[in-house]
Chains A and B, each alone.
Chain A
Amino acid sequence: MKTRTLCKTVAATIGASMISLSANSAEILVTADIATSTTWTKNNTYNLQGQRYILPGATLTIEAGTVVASDVGGSLAVTRDARIDCVGTKLEPVIFTSKQDVATWTAGNPKTGTWRAVANEWGNVTVMGNGFIGKYGAGAVTTNTASPNSGNYANMEGLTASGSSDTRTFYGGGNDLDNSGRFEYVSLRYGGKVVGLGNELNGLSLGGIGKETKIDHIEIMNNVDDGIEIWGGCVDLKYVTIWNIGDDSLDVDHGWRGKIQFGLIVAGYSIAGAASGSGFCDSLVEMDGAAKSDAQPVTTACFYNMTLIGQPLSGKAGTKWRDNARAQFNNCIFMDIGKEVVKNDNTDGEATDGQTGYGYNGTLTFADTWTTNYNVYSTVNPYSNPASAYTAQRAGKLIQYTDSVFYNNVNSAAYTEANARGVFAAANNNVLAVAGSSPIASITRGPNVISGTVVVQPVISLDPRATNAAATSVSAPISDPFFTTAQYRGAFGPNENWLCGWTAADAFGMSVPPPTGCASSCPADINLDGIVNGTDLAGILSGWGSSGSSDINSDGTTNGVDLATLLSGWGNCI
């Protein structure tokens, strides 16, 4: 292994359970880039020293249960053509955090700890791939073109190249099926170390990531900049939870063409006293079409089953739209949003020549985008065959909100734009829930915190299970192999809380387990459609030997034990 690692100390904590850091666990200082494939094991903790890269051809495998606890400045980036194979389990997630966080754990047990109003304690994880990106114009690489081009690339925000020949910081290319590896059951906490003004690190940065990359069960807790930011590519995400983010919770840009199902966003603050954008939440979801409004690819996405919980008093927009972005929000919950639920943000910091917003240079106006079918493609700088690139949307309009619940969004401008765009037209099956009929089981906010000029109402306890109008939806997700059939609104079914077991929210006591406990009442119902049947069996067989949702008992492999569980639970879930 060429990676220079130094065994510095023996961890002082003594574990009381199998998931605790053991008495023998050593702290490994990661002091160099990873040029050769390496495995990080759960019996050690890893401390990233500065910005470290996994180089092309190398695979970093991180065992379930591994803790990466870094000092200030420690960060990990996966370069193009490198891989990360970071697969935790519900019982043993992989945790990227700060040493200060670990210090709050009881006896080294990562399922304990105390939430703190801090961030910036380490850097982040960045993954870069070879998918197409829409980065053209001001701030872009000068050789990039406005039309889709496999030669278009960009320098990743927050990473600094060591010289003109340093390609480690590049993302983007011409392979939308690119594979950057697996990132599953991973909790990232207290990160975002700022390396320069306007050059912050997001909790998880994904640039040009291709469809073969598997990302699911990801938690971002307390980050100074965005929670997750995605630039271009077409990676899909499933089971994502983002809490207490200092800027936008989820930010998608530069032609991302992917899907997300089961996403929870809880707006709050990550740094006491900070302003919005640098420690107190900005938008819950911000969407930029492309760096220049008429460049392609343009962000065209599809969301199902999102639960978006804002900050009622001082919070910002729920969903913010820029630069010709297109996205569909279906079967979602929008609640407690501080300002507009839908905001047309017709400005852009990247703009220098009037290229911002909608309707620029022949693109659709914002209003037109809402009434234009998903398969009508821009003729400006087009793909030669746009249907090959824009695959996330399979029906409906380019922008739509359907089959969703809107609750307790009390700002006077909360629904101004939404009403203007016909969000509540009967055909959309949206529900404006009345006071007292919360779409989630419970939410508890702590005492108000005065943070600079804003009033934060921190969520200290959440039972996110669907109830009332969210308990059932008119439609299930559209037929698409990625989407799980889920006949409810929001990220959680009436009987399940997938935060259980692996998240900081669970460890910190902020997530309320369901009455039946953390284990699912119907564990063999892999696709969460309320019945254990042949589809679940197919899922078991498909996932045989690997981890993931088919690994019912979360022991790291799908095997006969899981099959037996499935067969014993055959039939309708009770």
Chain B
Amino acid sequence: MRFTSKQTTIALITQLIIFIGQSGCANESTNPKSESVLKQQPEMPAIQTPASPPLANLSRDDLLDLAFQISTSIPIEPFASDRARMQALVSQACIKNGSLIQAIQYASRIEGWRQGELFALIGQQYATANETQRARDFAARAMEVATNEIDWRRERIVIETAKIYLQLGDSGKASALVEGVTQAELGKLETARTAIVLQSQLDNQADMFDKALATKNFDLVRGAIEGYLVWLDRVSEDEIRTTRALKVIDDALPGLPVDLQVKYGIDFADHLHKNLKRDLAILKLDKATEIFSATTFLPEDVAPLGAMIARARIRMGDEKSARLFLQRFYSEHSTRREGIVNLRRATSLRALAEGFCELGDRDDAIACYTWALEEGTINPNARPRAEDLGATCISMAECGVSLTPELKHQIDTIRSSLTYPW
């Protein structure tokens, strides 16, 4: 579905007066056992969410379409990169949702290197679905964009395109494509290769990652850690190899910036959990939490990182502590926000909302989104407001949260204000 005309836009907004239902959302249902404590916080906006179920269903695709329209309304000059980045986020969200046609439509309208990268990402989806010809078509489209790009922008496209050929079993073509690409980018391809190589080739992959780690080059180290996480999935039945991976990752993580130690610590826990090593996964998550707690982050980084940990706890089955974690950060936002420049405040609330969504705490999620939308109206310039609104729409779509009339009204109001000055 494409909404390009003004009339269609108005029609879409009209439909949004009622709730958005969630087709296929993993966490769309409300959690009857969880009682929102957020409304008890005196500094926070009053929660006006009705307890009633959604009045009607709108697809998350519609919300993403709204996000795309918002991002497209950002003037190209002088905001070309901001606009394209925002548009690409929408297209990526569509890919994540499995709405490939929508993703393609959006990608086709994006200017610059991001279009090529998106075509490659779409091609990867087709390759995964064994739609070989379509995958090849998108590889070709991606490389067509790449021919007009130079330096790292071209390399980004080339790497993602090479992954298509890897998935299609054409390893030689993938390798030929990346000839001359900088080492820093090659780690991404090797990570993808690790997921599919024969068991007999896995040790070669690990040896390659060890060499990358030894360089202590930041990009190579990141690539190697990501590679080893995938390697861990492949060798989970093999105790000796698993031990090797655990040691390497444990040794490598302290060499990263602290925020990345937390992020990769969470990834580490997720991979272990996926491979039925729950106790070890919880240990790794505890370690990431410990690093997070011991570090003084910027006010704007606290809630997003905290929400990442909380969501990992949910995946491990510890909903209780996750909920407490999220509620704590929500209650602290009213004081922490004073230290955050106004155009960055909504990011924290979106992160918390996504955590509540994952818990199924619908009312709390909506309270966070309500506040996020409010925070996103403070800056007097339309560009940061548009970026905030678009990001919130994407977040709501991904979470599958139900739109209330109040949220809808807020969105409409903000959207109508997206005019000069940008």
B381 to A539, Cβ gap below 8 A?
no
A541 at the interface (CB under 8 A from B): yes
Q: Once the chains bind, are B422 and A59 in contact (CB under 8 Å)?
A: yes
A181 within 8 A of B: yes
* Cα distance A179–B79 in the bound complex, in angstroms: 11
Taking the nearest CB of chain A, how far is it from the CB of B225, in angstroms?
Answer: 11
Which residues of chain B from 381 to 422 have any CB-CB distance to chain A below 8 Å in the complex? 381-384, 420-422
Taking the closest CB of chain B, its distance from the CB of A326, in whole angstroms, is: 17
Question: Is A80 among interface residues, defined by CB-CB distance under 8 A?
Answer: yes
Cross-chain contact A384 with B258 (CB below 8 angstroms): yes
The reply to whether the CB of A451 lies closer than 8 angstroms to some CB of chain B is: no
CB pair A35–B342 under 8 Å, yes or no, is no
- Asked if B421 and A1 make an inter-chain contact with CB atoms under 8 angstroms apart, the answer reads yes
The residues of B that contact A182 with a CB separation of less than 8 Å are 78
Q: Is the CB of A481 within 8 A of B152?
A: yes
Task: Report A43-82 residues with CB < 8 Å from chain B CB.
Answer: 56-59, 61, 80-81
Which A residue's beta carbon lies closest to that of B420? Answer: A37
Decide yes or no: A538 and B148 within 8 Å by CB, A37-B422, A38-B421 being known contacts: yes
Q: Do the beta carbons of A481 and B150 come within 8 Å of each other?
A: yes
Question: What residues of chain A lie closer than 8 Å to B261, measured between beta carbons?
Answer: 384
Q: Does B130 contact A (CB under 8 A)?
A: no
User: Is A383 touching B257 in the complex (CB atoms < 8 A)?
Assistant: yes
B255 to chain A: which residues have CB within 8 Å?
Answer: 384-385
Complex Cα distance, B421 from A182, in Å, reads 18
How many pairs of residues, A versus B, come closer than 8 Å at their CB atoms?
98
Complex: how many Å from CA A375 to CA B218?
Answer: 12
Contact between chains at B221 and A385 (CB < 8 Å): yes
Q: Please, which residues of chain A bring their CB within 8 A of the CB of B23?
A: none
Query: Chain B residues with Cβ under 8 A from A173's Cβ?
Result: 298
Closest to A148 in B: B257
CB of A387 within 8 A of CB of B217, answer: yes
Is the beta-carbon distance between B150 and A542 smaller than 8 angstroms?
Answer: yes
Using CB atoms, name the residue of chain B closest to A390. Answer: B218
Identify the closest chain B residue to A80 (Cβ): B341
- Decide yes or no: A151 and B296 within 8 Å by CB, A383-B257, A541-B148 being known contacts: yes
Residues in A whose Cβ lies below 8 Å from that of B152: 481
C-alpha spacing A385/B384, complex, angstroms: 32
- B257 proximity list for chain A (CB < 8 A): 383-385, 388
User: Is B150 a contact partner of A538 (Cβ separation < 8 A)?
Assistant: yes
Residue A2 interfacial (CB < 8 Å): yes
Q: Are A36 and B421 in contact (CB under 8 A)?
A: yes
A59 pairs with B341, CB closer than 8 A: no
State the CA gap A172–B77 with chains docked (Å). Answer: 27
Verify A57–B151 contact, CB threshold 8 A.
Answer: no
Interface size class of B (residues with CB under 8 A): 35 or more
- A residues 492-513 touching B (CB-CB < 8 Å): none
Interface of A is mostly: loop
CB of B169 within 8 A of chain A?
A: no
- Interface hub of B78, B254, B298 (most chain A Cβ within 10 A): B78
Contact B379 A56 (CB under 8 A): yes
Q: Tell me the residues in window 256-313 of chain B with beta carbons closer than 8 Å to chain A beta carbons.
A: 256-258, 261, 296-298, 301
Contact A174 B298 (CB under 8 A): yes
Closest partner residue, chain B, to A174 (CB atom) = B298
Is the Cβ of A57 less than 8 Å from the Cβ of B78?
Answer: no
> Do A36 and B380 touch (CB < 8 A)?
yes
Give per-residue flags for B326-350: 1 if the beta carbon is below 8 A from chain A beta carbons, else 0: 0000000000000001111000000
Least CB distance, B331 to chain A, in whole angstroms? 22
Instruction: Say yes or no for B149: interface residue by CB 8 A criterion.
Output: yes
Q: Are B298 and A37 in contact (CB under 8 A)?
A: no
Q: Is the CB of A57 within 8 A of B296?
A: no
> Shortest distance in angstroms between B75's beta carbon and chain A's nearest beta carbon?
10
**Other-chain residue from B76, B298, B381 in contact with A150 (beta carbon distance below 8 A):** B298
B149–A542 touching, CB < 8 Å: yes
Chain A residues positioned under 8 Å from B379 (CB to CB): 56-57
Give CA–CA (A150, B299) in the complex, Å: 10
B216 interfacial by beta-carbon distance below 8 Å = yes
Asked if A85 is at the interface of the complex by the 8 Å CB criterion, the answer is yes
Within 8 A of B (CB), among A461-502: 481
Question: Across the interface, which residues of B come within 8 angstroms of A35, CB to CB?
Answer: 380-381
A1 to B419, CA, bound (A): 12
B313 CB → nearest A CB, Å: 25
Most buried by B among A1, A212, A385, A535: A385
Contact, CB under 8 Å: B78 / A58: no
A176 CA / B344 CA spacing, docked (Å): 17
A481–B343 touching, CB < 8 Å = no
Across the interface, do A37 and B341 meet the contact criterion of CB distance under 8 Å?
no
Residues from chain A with Cβ under 8 Å of B81 in the complex: 179, 212
Which residues does chain B contribute within 8 Å of A546, judged by CB atoms? 80
Mark interface residues in A168-209 (1 if CB within 8 Å of B CB, else 0): 000001100001011000000000000000000000000000
- Is the CB–CB distance between A59 and B256 below 8 Å? no
Chain B contacts for A212, CB-based, 8 A = 81
A35 to B343, CA, bound (A): 13
A57 to B375 alpha-carbon distance, docked (Å): 13
A386 CA to B219 CA, complexed, in Å: 11
Closest to B381 in A: A57
Residue from A1, A57, A386, A388 whose CB has the most chain B CB atoms within 10 Å: A57
Of residues A37, A81, A179, which shows the largest number of chain B Cβ atoms within 10 Å of its Cβ? A37
Chain A residues near B256 (CB-CB < 8 A): 384-385
> A81 contacts which of B80, B298, B343 (Cβ < 8 Å)?
B343
Which chain B residues lie closer than 8 Å to A385 at the CB level?
216, 218, 221, 255-257
Assembled-state Cα–Cα distance A388/B148 (Å): 28
Given known A-B contacts A37-B422, A387-B218, A85 and B78 have beta carbons under 8 A apart = yes
| Cross-chain contact B383 with A37 (CB below 8 angstroms) | yes
Q: Which residues of B contact A539 (CB under 8 A)?
A: 150
A438 shortest CB reach to chain B, Å: 36
Distance, CA A201 to CA B10, complexed state (A): 52
* Inter-chain contacts of A87 with B (CB < 8 A): 78
The verdict on A151 contacting B298 (CB below 8 Å), with A384-B256, A481-B151 known, is yes
* Chain A residue nearest to B339 in the complex (CB): A167
Which B residues from 223 to 266 make CB contacts under 8 A with A?
254-258, 261
CB distance A59 to B150 under 8 Å? no
CA distance A517 to B152 in the complex (A): 36
From known contacts A387-B216, A388-B257, infer whether A57 and B342 are also in contact, taking CB-CB under 8 Å. Answer: yes
Taken together as a complex, chains A and B put the C-alpha atoms of A59 and B150 apart, in Å, by 28
Contact A56 B342 (CB under 8 A): yes
- Do B421 and A37 have beta carbons less than 8 Å apart? yes
For residue A541, which residues in chain B have a CB less than 8 angstroms away from its CB? Answer: 148-149
Using Cβ atoms and an 8 Å threshold, which residues of chain B touch A149? 296
| CB contact between A57 and one of B216, B258, B343 (< 8 Å): that residue | B343
Evaluate contact between B381 and A36: CB separation under 8 angstroms. Answer: yes
Is A56 a contact of B341 with CB atoms below 8 Å?
A: yes
Complex Cα gap A56–B342 (Å):
8
The chain A residue sitting closest to B297, CB to CB, is A150
Task: Tell me, rounded to whole Å, the shortest Cβ–Cβ distance linking A41 to chain B.
Answer: 14
Closest Cβ of chain B to A501, distance in Å, is: 23
A59 near B383 (CB under 8 angstroms)?
yes
Q: Which A residues lie within 8 Å of B217 (CB)?
A: 387
Which residues of B have CB within 8 Å of A383?
A: 257
Contact of A61 among B78, B153, B380 (CB under 8 A): B78
Closest 8 CB pairs of A and B: A388-B218, A481-B151, A85-B78, A37-B421, A57-B379, A36-B421, A541-B148, A57-B384
- Residue pairs across A and B with Cβ atoms less than 8 A apart, 27 shown, are A1-B421, A36-B421, A37-B420, A56-B341, A57-B343, A58-B421, A59-B78, A80-B341, A81-B343, A83-B78, A151-B298, A167-B341, A179-B81, A384-B254, A384-B255, A384-B257, A384-B258, A384-B261, A385-B221, A385-B256, A387-B216, A387-B217, A535-B150, A541-B149, A542-B153, A544-B148, A546-B80
Residues on A lying within 8 angstroms of B by beta carbon are 1-2, 35-38, 56-59, 61, 80-81, 83, 85, 87, 149-151, 167, 173-174, 179, 181-182, 212, 375, 383-389, 481, 535, 538-539, 541-542, 544-546
- Beyond contacts A173-B298, A388-B218: 16 other A-B pairs, Cβ-Cβ < 8 A, are A37-B381, A38-B421, A57-B342, A59-B79, A59-B422, A80-B341, A87-B78, A150-B297, A182-B78, A385-B256, A387-B216, A389-B218, A481-B150, A538-B149, A538-B150, A545-B76
